[in-house]
Amino acid sequence: MDDVVTAGTAVRESLELIRAAGARPVGCVFALDRQERGLGALSATQEIEQEHGVKCLSVLTLAELIEAFARPGARGITAGQLAALEAYRARYGLA
């Protein structure tokens, strides 16, 4: 369990520690998946799944967060903050 997955570095390190202790990890859970590009064409989460043979789940994705805040009548975020989230996704997220 991790709060946020960005590049997946902390998750990869944690999976190796779990294996080094003799356990077999089967999955990862994240509060927020930022859906950022990994090292190649896949997202960091997809790379973790492929490299380590585990299933990754998230409570919320960046796309879902943006969608919720973009709904008419949504509260808790300004138009400028929403635009910043969308710009972040355009810069670092998968196309």
Domain residue spans of the chain: 2-92
Question: What CATH number should be reported for the domain whose range is 2-92?
Answer: 3.40.50.2020
Which residue blocks in the chain are alpha helix, DSSP H?
9-20, 44-52, 62-70, 79-92
List for the chain the helix, strand, coil content (%; round to 5): 45, 25, 30
At 34-64, the pLDDT tens digits run 898 888 889 889 998 998 999 999 999 999 9
Are the CB atoms for 1 and 9 separated by under 8 Å? Answer: no
Is residue 73 scored above 90 in pLDDT?
A: no
Q: Look up residue 93 and give its two tokens.
A: 């997220």
The predicted model scores a pTM of 0.80
